[in-house]
Amino acid sequence: MKGINSIKIGISGIRGIVGKTLNPEQVVNLTRAFATLVGSGAAAVAVDSRVSGETIKRAVLSGLIFSEIKPLDTLALPTPSLQIYVKEKKLNGGIIITASHNTEDWNGLKFVDENGLFISPFAALNLIDIYHQQSFKIPSENKFPDVEVVKNAFNVHERKILKIVDVEQIRKQRFKVLMDPGGGVGALFDKKFLEALGCDVVMINDQLGDRFPRRPEPIAENLVKTSSYLAGGDFDIGFAQDSDADRLSILDETGLVLGGEITLAAALYGYLSRKKPGKIVVNLSTSRIMEYVAEKFGFKVLKSPVGEINVAEMMIKERAAAGGEGNGGIMIPDVHCCRDSFTGMALVLDAMAKHGKKISQITAEFPSFKMLKKKIPLSMSEAHKIVLLLKDEYPGVDTDTRDGLRVDMEDHWFHVRPSNTEPVLRIIAEGHEGEIDRIVKKLIARIKRMAKPPSGA
């Protein structure tokens, strides 16, 4: 059986280039490995909008059926919707066929446990071990389950969101919204969802086809045309999603792309204002803007290692009111502990309606920081070695070593961590304009000196 060394293995799933590093045999056997973990019962399956999704789904369904796990085919469905469906319907697990923000030649599998959360890092290691050992569950008898098709799974998700916002107050505003799903699965649900909130919706990049109309990740460099379109119209706000609709990015009424960090802060701005003070959870690479928003409403910020499952597990343990990641992943336990662009959109509109402010007025209250994200090509072992060496460079300084090294100074912070999916050392840093550029430049130079072999070696 072909190995999976060439597939990207991350904390939330497995992905590869279809037909090259991801093939049907791998998909069937990865599904069988997941089914072995699940044991019995039923599992939901969903695809995003990639043309390879339906073909890969056949392999997934086969793997589940042969393992005597009843498949519920929820058709094309956003990642958070599948997670919520698994939890609400008390299923034994789920598989989402998506490569998230990768380009259309990629696809992959995200594995969901019975709680509607991505499987834990420990479970993921077990899954990979089962795959390599081929120690799959063996059918006890030749009575294989049929596939059940579920056509309205998104409704479960939508109902939960509408319970946490003031729907009537939002409807009164008649917000004009530019919606850009980037050719992703959100295109099938966005317009109806926003219209339920009384919005006048104009869709852009909502065509589904062989290729995405823009690169899937909703970041500024991929939203140039969207920004221009919004600036040329009379819009109150713009929203952009990635291909499986778990990530969100806001554009303000001038067309400015606010990015994931500010999107998360804006989504929680109104929500936290009407909750009792408590805790929120973000990951170690998230902007200090979240600390401003949390403190404004009496909340304490807790930080987890990077990865949705790490944030979710800490949110559950600490009974946090909210959380998220700075890539535009908004997580609200009253809906579900998962990244959710639809909840994010509803909360931002709710904040605008409640406070009577434009989105640019809300975000103008946030402190101004510059965030830099860099990466240095290094092997996994080299990257871990650099992190260990760097830890000794900052005695007496506020540091966190649970996921690489985060160093907090009064006017800036940086987070250095080995990537889980590629041979690089990631550097995320935030501070004031100009100064943070100088700090990161010096940090990179120091790392490169550490990585350089001694002369004569």
CATH number at residue 46: 3.40.120.10
Quick check: is 2 in a domain? no
Kindly state whether residues 190 and 328 are assigned to the same domain. Answer: yes
Quick check: is 383 in a domain? yes
Q: What is the pLDDT of residue 402?
A: 95
Kindly state whether residues 172 and 29 are assigned to the same domain. Answer: no
Quick check: is 244 in a domain? yes
Kindly state whether residues 274 and 356 are assigned to the same domain. Answer: yes
Which residue among 332, 363, 394 closes a domain?
Answer: 363
Contact (Cβ atoms closer than 8 angstroms) between residue 389 and residue 381: no
Angstrom distance (rounded) from CA 247 to CA 260: 8
Quick check: is 28 in a domain? yes
Which residue among 363, 396, 421 closes a domain?
Answer: 363
The pTM (predicted TM-score) of the whole model is 0.95
Kindly state whether residues 345 and 234 are assigned to the same domain. Answer: yes
Quick check: is 99 in a domain? yes
73-85: buried (b, 16+ CB within 10 Å) or exposed (e) per residue?
A: bbbbbbbbbbbbb
Quick check: is 456 in a domain? no
Domain that holds residue 124: 8-155
Beta bridge partners of 179: 203, 239
Kindly state whether residues 148 and 242 are assigned to the same domain. Answer: no
Angstrom distance (rounded) from CA 142 to CA 14: 30
- Work out how many domains the chain is built from and give that number: 3
Q: What is the pLDDT of residue 6?
A: 61
Q: What is the pLDDT of residue 140?
A: 80
CATH number for the domain that contains residue 405: 3.30.310.50
Largest CA distance in the chain: 73
Q: Could you report the per-residue pLDDT of 73-126, keeping only the tens digit for each?
A: 999 999 999 999 999 999 999 999 999 888 999 999 999 999 999 999 999 999
Quick check: is 1 in a domain? no
In the predicted model, residues of the chain with pLDDT beneath 70 are 1-6, 11, 453-457
Angstrom distance (rounded) from CA 194 to CA 140: 47
Q: What is the pLDDT of residue 295?
A: 96
Quick check: is 297 in a domain? yes
Kindly state whether residues 140 and 13 are assigned to the same domain. Answer: yes
Kindly state whether residues 337 and 269 are assigned to the same domain. Answer: yes
Kindly state whether residues 18 and 105 are assigned to the same domain. Answer: yes
Task: With H, G, I as helix, E, B as strand and everything else as coil, classify residue 329.
Answer: strand
Q: What is the pLDDT of residue 456?
A: 52
Kindly state whether residues 84 and 57 are assigned to the same domain. Answer: yes
Kindly state whether residues 295 and 413 are assigned to the same domain. Answer: no
For 438, list phi and psi in degrees, rounded to 5.
-65, -40
Which residue among 107, 131, 155 closes a domain?
Answer: 155
Side-chain-facing half-sphere of 232: CA atoms under 13 Å: 7
Kindly state whether residues 375 and 359 are assigned to the same domain. Answer: no
Angstrom distance (rounded) from CA 438 to CA 454: 26
Which residues have a Cβ under 8 Å from the Cβ of 457 and sit 6 or more positions away? none
Kindly state whether residues 136 and 28 are assigned to the same domain. Answer: yes
Q: What is the pLDDT of residue 395?
A: 86
